[in-house]
């Protein structure tokens, strides 16, 4: 009989093992860190970010690269009610990979919405799939999540595989940890799936205190996300010969596509193709669909109290001077408009809230490197291409 907590067909343990070893395929590091990225300007989230193209982002110091690290930071005020920033995607795309992202610090604070994620240029969202590796807003904890189409690449994970006796539990963090592991996404009603080990979840402030490596492994059978404190970096990863099958102690999120289909036929019928080829995206957004929407119930809301700490009384007074606008249900208000509390704070038209100094203290990404590895045997990387004009 199978051992307690064993994964059907997975070789035992609490998650399936791919038996793969990897070799370095691409990296962003040092003074050329940003060279192989596209700078994107589209802001689909009704937010307060004005994303800059490469030359302007470099000139304004929004993206900088140094021998030991790269920085993505909030820039100065841009167009009316916008603060300049950047959203970047890799020029290359990969089908199946291991990605590792080493950071010294991550953005945190009221109004920020940072994300490290992947998307596909090969199909309209969400048919190409989206993996959110790190994403959070205000003081909300970061979690991983997956978003796919409800028909062509549908997948509902088997909860039993993520909550087995003797194994770390991974509740679905969607719907305030009451999700049912359905990865289909159609906002605002269907949010996707987000199996997360809560022991690894943290706010931006907490993660900024502990430099780490975040890694994502996507195979034909599963997705795994790891968070490894830099002081614990395994020797195999440091040597660029990573063996993620040995990283169970740092496993924070697991998406068992093939095992779900084996144990519940029809639940995830296209396990190997649930995502199309993915590009890696790094962004620093503000307000919008998330940070603005939840501002009213956030510690960031200024409800008339006086406190100078990093998590309270930011921007105009809620109610008398501003409101929290949900772009999906604006109640007659203008998303990212002049009455939105979060937008008013981030833009800080009259420099009365000290926003630029606030963001300069802790609103930035400080990245050591980002590396993508290719399997060296068995399952090989299906497609790698460079699209400099995408």
In the predicted model, what is the mean pLDDT of residues 243-249? 97
DSSP type of residue 263:
H
Percent helix, percent strand, percent coil in the chain, to nearest 5: 20, 30, 50
CA distance 182 to 299: 30
- What digits encode the pLDDT tens for the residues 303-352? 988 777 888 889 999 999 999 999 999 999 999 999 999 999 999 999 99
| Dist. CA 190–CA 15, nearest whole Å | 26
Contact 148, 129 (CB under 8 A): yes
* 69-73, 291-295, 379-383, 385-389: least confident range: 385-389
Burial 380-390, CB ≥16 within 10 A → b, else e: ebeeeeeeeee
Residue with tokens 């620093």: 284
- The CA–CA distances, whole Å, from 10 to 123, 259, 293 equal 31, 8, 41
pLDDT value for 187: 84
> Which uninterrupted H or E stretch holds 306?
none
Q: What share of the chain has pLDDT > 90, as a percent?
A: 87
Mean pLDDT of the chain: 92
**pLDDT value at position 8?**
41
What b/e readout covers 307-342, taking b as 16+ CB neighbours within 10 angstroms?
A: eeebbbbbbbebeeebbbbbbeebeebebbbeebbb
Instruction: Specify the higher pLDDT residue, 178 or 383.
Output: 178
How far apart, in whole angstroms, are the C-alpha atoms of residue 295 and residue 342? 7
* CA distance readout (Å), 195 to 174, 234, 237: 8, 24, 24
Reported as a pLDDT band with limits 50, 70 and 90, residue 359 is very high
How much is the CA Rg of the chain, to the nearest whole Å?
Answer: 21
pLDDT of residue 23: 97
User: Would you state the pLDDT for residue 312?
Assistant: 84
Report the distance separating Cα 390 and Cα 383, nearest Å.
Answer: 16
Mean pLDDT of 262-276: 97
Beta bridge partners, 254, equal 224
- Give the pLDDT score at 387: 40
Range 177-193 average pLDDT: 92
Name the strand (E) or helix (H) holding 112: strand 112-119
């Amino acid at each position: 009989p199978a051992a307690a907590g064993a994964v059907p067909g997975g070789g035992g343990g609490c998650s399936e093992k791919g038996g793969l070893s990897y070799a370095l395929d691409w990296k962003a590091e040092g003074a050329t860190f940003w060279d192989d990225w596209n700078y994107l300007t589209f802001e689909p989230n009704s937010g307060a970010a004005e994303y800059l193209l490469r030359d302007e982002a470099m000139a304004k110091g929004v993206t900088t690269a140094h021998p030991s690290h790269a920085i993505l930071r909030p820039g100065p005020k841009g167009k009316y009610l916008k603060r300049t920033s950047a959203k970047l995607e890799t020029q290359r795309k990969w089908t199946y990979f291991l990605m590792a992202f080493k950071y010294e610090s991550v953005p945190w604070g009221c109004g920020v919405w940072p994300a490290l994620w992947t998307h596909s240029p090969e199909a309209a969202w969400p048919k190409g799939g989206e993996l959110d590796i790190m994403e959070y807003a205000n003081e909300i904890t970061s979690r991983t999540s997956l978003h796919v189409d409800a028909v062509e690449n549908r997948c509902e994970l088997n909860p039993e595989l993520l909550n087995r006796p003797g194994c770390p539990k991974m509740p679905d963090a969607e719907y305030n940890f009451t999700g049912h592991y359905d990865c289909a996404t159609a906002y605002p009603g269907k949010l996707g799936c987000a199996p997360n080990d809560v022991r690894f979840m943290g706010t931006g402030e907490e993660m900024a205190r502990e430099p780490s490596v975040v890694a994502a492994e996507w195979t034909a059978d599963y997705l795994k996300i790891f968070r490894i404190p830099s002081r614990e970096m395994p020797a195999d990863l440091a040597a660029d010969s990573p063996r993620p099958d040995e990283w169970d102690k740092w496993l924070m999120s697991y998406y068992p596509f093939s095992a779900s289909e084996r144990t519940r036929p029809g639940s995830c019928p296209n396990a190997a193709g649930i995502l199309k080829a993915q590009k890696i995206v790094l962004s620093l957004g503000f307000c919008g669909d998330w940070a603005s929407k939840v501002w009213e119930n956030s510690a960031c809301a200024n409800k008339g109290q006086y406190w100078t700490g990093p998590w309270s009384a930011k921007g105009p007074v809620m109610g008398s001077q501003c409101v929290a606008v949900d772009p999906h249900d604006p109640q007659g208000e203008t998303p990212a408009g002049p009455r939105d509390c979060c937008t008013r704070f981030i833009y800080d038209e009259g420099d009365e809230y000290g926003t630029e100094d606030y963001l300069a203290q802790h609103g930035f990404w400080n990245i050591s490197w980002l590396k993508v590895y290719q399997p060296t045997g068995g399952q090989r990387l299906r497609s790698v291409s460079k699209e400099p004009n995408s």
